[in-house]
Amino acid sequence: MIVQLHLALVMAIDARLLVLDEPTLGLDLLYRKQFYQSLLEDYFDEQRTILITTHQVEEIEHILSDVMFIRDGRITLQTDMDSLGERYAEVMVAAEYADAARAMKPLSERSVFGKSVYLFDGVERQQLQALGDVRRPSLADIFVATMQGSYT
């Protein structure tokens, strides 16, 4: 209840820049979704900027206009969401094309249902289509691939 009260107070502030650090921590799924919906409907307009820091990127991916990854105090990725979708691609590759996929130097590789899924940065979609089904990766998958190994 106290968390919900704090969130209501934050949203009552009339500021041009609103900075929220893990704003839905401690809330169940229903309240988290309501919070972000209310934030967009009741607070956001063209005159305001909302900066959200969170580890729950899958919750807010659909409302983002820009994204920034920070590691050890340094910006490792900063781009708008449209550019992110153009830059990164994920391909589910059958075993016979695995060597060709690895030759294109993917950022990451993982196994799903007996096939390998590769995440690429900056590789032309046309090249990737020859390997398999090309999709837009989730923001969480891009985060994991770009940060992999930095916390070991």
Indicate the pairing of strand 17-21 with strand 49-53.
parallel
- Spatial CA neighbour of 128 closest among 139, 117, 141: 117
Q: How far is CA 135 from the centre of its chain?
A: 15
Indicate the pairing of strand 88-93 with strand 132-135.
antiparallel
CB atoms within 10 A of CB 74: 7
pLDDT value for 139: 95
Mean pLDDT of the chain: 87
pLDDT value for 114: 80
Helix (H, G, I), strand (E, B) or coil at 3: helix
Q: Are 119 and 144 in contact (CB under 8 A)?
A: no
Task: Express each pLDDT in 63-83 by its tens digit.
Answer: 899 999 998 999 999 999 999
- On the question of pLDDT at 4 being above 80, the answer is no
- On the question of pLDDT at 11 being above 80, the answer is no
